[in-house]
């Protein structure tokens, strides 16, 4: 397959972007860009220049001149590029967890106020822990009820499962667009429609799609979304998340963490909290300016490439990985724990084998870096702009060697 990998790299119209990332000139194989994306080379200089020129040079004046608008400006860029969201609906805020909490609370409270029967939150039993833990906590504090959707760990919540879970008591549905474990890619339009037909609101978790899989929030008629910026958007460890609220909902939803940045007039510092119009009401504290700078370098690259081409390469990478796995890993007892159909798969896939925890440790020692997820899953994330086909092939051969050594 070496010749095939080389040919795919030679034909890859996005291949030149790989050199824009730190470390792509080393032999290390990185299969975890879906957990923490590599930094673009431009980012070190961007941050250093910010410290000296903007923070150090403009000091507090930077807030009026640029920084107060930055959460909205970067939010709009992400919205236009990666979310299919018209401007004024996306903002950079707190961590993914805190933003999910705020939007889920806002949605649940509004739904229950409008119809006291609507006290159920629907969520997948296999969703990312934060999503499940949050729902559990919110249900307990608000007297709501969790409806758990039972999911095959190699898939995710699909139309049939969702249809059975929603009804006249459903307030909100929290859905992962791409499942963190299996890479299952949900049909955004269809699932949104199913939730709406039941009178529920949908909150999309876009952590594993933003920047690799096209999202069309406005076209789906989606209500709310939250997503991560340190995966395919390469914002750096712990970079703040984005939140989307459809324009039609912004006036009717209020979130519980009432801070000065969400108030109608930030600097009047008046006696009573009145939420701002528009997306600012979903902010709470001082925007994390320094932490939202790095992602702009990847936005530059993604805008240059276009999200359709990024998705095309992403599919080509996962298709190639599946073919290689079928050829050299299946004979060792490794099972694909992700959808086979690329239309149902995001930018990563999971390979299952009883020895995968030890295999992961062995691979790390050899500078091949996937991650491990229970049960027995080796997760292979193939960040489209920074991963080559040859890197993918080399890494999967290392997986085969490690499985042989650990079986």
Catalytic residues: 128, 205, 230-231, 379
- In DSSP notation, 170-201 reads EEEEEEESB-TTT-BB--HHHHHHHHHHTT-E
- Select 45 or 164, whichever has its Cβ closest to its own copies: 45
Question: Between residue 19 and residue 48, which ones bind its own copies under the rule CB under 8 A?
Answer: 21-23, 28, 30, 32, 35-36, 38-39, 43-45, 47-48
Using the minimum distance from each CB to its own copies, give the nearer residue, 269 or 308: 269
Q: Which two tokens stand for residue 23?
A: 């470390």
Residue from 136, 187, 300, 319 touching its own copies (CB under 8 A): that is 136
User: Smallest distance, Å, CB 146 to its own copies?
Assistant: 11
Minimum Å gap between C-beta 207 and its own copies is: 10
What is the DSSP track for 193-231?
Answer: HHHHHTT-EEEEE-TTTTTTS---HHHHT--EEEE-SSS
Binding mask 81-110 for its own copies (x = CB under 8 A): -------------xxxxx--x---------
- Closer residue to its own copies in complex, CB, 115/133: 133
Q: Could you give the CA distance from residue 120 to residue 112 in angstroms, rounded to a whole number?
A: 9
Q: Does 146 bind its own copies (CB under 8 A)?
A: no
Is 133 a binder of its own copies (CB under 8 A)?
yes
The whole-angstrom separation of Cα 198 and Cα 17 is 44
Q: For its own copies, which is the closer residue by CB, 3 or 60?
A: 60
Q: Restricting to residues 149-188, which ones interact with its own copies according to CB under 8 A?
A: none
Residues β-bridged to residue 242: 92, 227
- State the nearest-atom distance from the C-beta of 50 to its own copies, in Å: 8
Decide if residue 373 touches its own copies (CB under 8 A).
yes
DSSP 168: T
Angle subtended at Cα 238 by Cα 364 and Cα 217, rounded to the nearest 5 degrees: 105
Residue closer to its own copies, measured from CB, 101 or 232: 101
Give yes or no for residue 69 binding its own copies (CB under 8 A). Answer: no
Q: Cα–Cα distance between 320 and 304 in angstroms, integer?
A: 24
Number of residues engaging its own copies in binding (CB under 8 A)? 81
Burial class (CB in 10 A: 0-12, 13-18, 19+), 23: exposed
Which of 7, 11, 19, 51 is in the footprint of its own copies by CB under 8 A? 51
Q: Which residues in the 215-244 window bind its own copies by CB under 8 A?
A: 230, 235-241
Q: Rule CB under 8 A: say whether 114 interacts with its own copies.
A: no
371 binds its own copies (CB under 8 A): yes
- Which residue, 267 or 323, is less far from its own copies as judged by CB? 267
Distances (CA, A) of 302 to 82, 211, 232, 385: 9, 8, 10, 8
Q: What is the DSSP string of 268-316?
A: T--SS--BPSGGGGG--SS--TGGGSTHHHHHHHHHHH-HHHHHHHHHH
Q: Which of 267, 224, 215, 4 is nearest to 110 (CA)?
A: 224
CA distance 61 to 82: 31
Of the two residues 103 and 191, which places its CB atom closer to its own copies in the complex?
103
Q: Among 135-143, 209-217, 318-326, 343-351, which window interacts with its own copies (CB under 8 A)?
A: 135-143
Tokens for 247, please give them: 């324009």
- The candidate with the shortest Cα–Cα distance to 87, out of 69, 73, 99, is 73
How far apart are CB 229 and its own copies at their closest, in Å?
A: 11
**Cβ pair 179, 381 in contact under 8 A:** no
Helix, strand, coil percentages for the chain (3-state, nearest 5): 45, 15, 40
Binding window for its own copies (CB under 8 A); candidates: 60-68, 167-175, 184-192, 213-221: 60-68
Segment lying near its own copies (by CB under 8 A), choices 50-58, 188-196, 216-224, 244-252 = 50-58
> Binding of its own copies at residue 287 (CB under 8 A)?
yes
270 lies in the site for its own copies, by CB under 8 A: yes
Instruction: Work out whether 289 is an interface residue with its own copies (CB under 8 A).
Output: yes
Among 55, 247, 276, 401, binds its own copies (CB under 8 A): 55
Query: 377-396: which residues touch its own copies (CB under 8 A)?
Result: none
Residue 216: what are its φ and ψ, rounded to 5°? -135, 65
């Amino acid at each position: 397959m070496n010749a095939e990998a080389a040919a795919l790299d030679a034909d890859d119209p996005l291949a030149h972007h790989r050199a824009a990332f730190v470390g792509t000139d080393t032999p290390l194989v990185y299969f975890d860009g879906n957990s923490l994306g590599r930094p673009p080379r431009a980012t070190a200089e961007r941050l250093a220049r910010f410290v000296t020129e903007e923070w150090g040079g403009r000091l507090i004046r930077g807030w009026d001149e640029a920084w107060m608008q930055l959460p909205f400006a970067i939010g709009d860029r992400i919205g236009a590029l990666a979310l299919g969201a018209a401007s004024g609906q996306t903002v950079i805020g707190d961590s993914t967890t805190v933003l999910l909490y705020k939007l889920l609370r806002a949605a649940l409270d509004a739904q229950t106020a409008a119809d006291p029967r609507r006290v159920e939150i629907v969520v997948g039993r296999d969703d990312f822990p934060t999503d499940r833990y949050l729902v559990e906590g919110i249900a307990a504090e608000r007297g709501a009820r969790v409806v758990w959707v039972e999911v095959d760990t190699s898939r995710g919540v699909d139309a049939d499962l969702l249809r059975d879970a929603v009804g006249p008591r459903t307030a909100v549905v929290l859905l992962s667009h791409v499942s963190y474990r299996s890479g299952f890619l949900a049909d955004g339009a269809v699932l949104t429609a199913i939730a709406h037909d039941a009178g529920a609101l949908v909150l999309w978790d876009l952590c594993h799609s933003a920047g690799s899989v096209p999202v069309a929030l406005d076209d789906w008629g989606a209500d709310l979304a939250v997503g991560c910026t340190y995966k395919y958007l390469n914002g750096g460890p712990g970079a703040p998340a984005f939140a989307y609220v459809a324009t039609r909902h912004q006036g009717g939803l209020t979130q519980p963490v009432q801070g000065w940045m969400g108030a109608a007039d930030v600097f009047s510092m008046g006696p009573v909290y009145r939420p701002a119009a528009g997306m600012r009401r979903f902010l709470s504290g001082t925007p994390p300016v320094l932490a939202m700078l790095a992602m702009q370098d990847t936005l530059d690259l993604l805008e240059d490439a276009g999200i359709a081409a990024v998705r095309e390469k992403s599919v080509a990478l996962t298709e190639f990985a599946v073919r290689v796995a079928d050829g050299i890993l299946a004979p060792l007892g490794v099972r694909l724990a992700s959808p086979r159909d690329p239309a149902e798969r995001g930018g990563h896939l999971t390979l299952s084998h009883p020895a995968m925890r030890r295999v992961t440790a062995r691979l790390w020692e050899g500078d091949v870096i996937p991650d491990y997820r229970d049960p027995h899953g080796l997760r292979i994330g193939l960040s489209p702009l920074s991963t080559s086909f040859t890197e993918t092939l080399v890494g999967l051969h290392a997986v085969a060697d490690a499985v042989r050594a650990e079986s």
